[in-house]
């Protein structure tokens, strides 16, 4: 599992709402077999939050080797 902690503002993540307050995210490299629902359970977040933060168009399709930002709780 490849992950790194990063600190980004909403603007840096590309989210329209929110201010300049920095938030912590895990930068996670997707591996074959991963699903958003599994990652949401492991990292105590929701599929909808992962879709919103990562600008995912099809929540049923993520690609191994790509990266996701996962909010740190």
In this predicted model, what pLDDT tens digit does every residue of 5-60 receive, in sequence order? Answer: 877 777 777 776 656 666 888 999 999 999 999 999 999 999 999 999 999 999 99
Place of tokens 């938030």: 23
pLDDT tops 90 at residue 67:
yes
**Considering only CA atoms, which of 58, 56, 57 is closest in space to residue 70?**
56
Model confidence, pTM: 0.80
Q: Which sequence spans correspond to the domains of the chain? A: 3-71
For the domain spanning 3-71, the CATH number is 3.10.350.10
Cβ contact 64:32 at 8 Å: yes
């Amino acid at each position: 599992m490849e992950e790194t902690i990063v600190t980004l503002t909403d603007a840096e993540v590309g989210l329209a709402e929110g201010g300049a307050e920095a938030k912590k995210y895990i930068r996670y490299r997707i591996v074959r077999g991963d699903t958003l629902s599994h990652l949401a359970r492991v990292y105590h977040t929701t599929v909808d939050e992962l879709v919103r933060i990562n600008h995912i168009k099809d929540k049923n399709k993520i690609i191994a080797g790509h990266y996701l930002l996962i909010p740190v709780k």
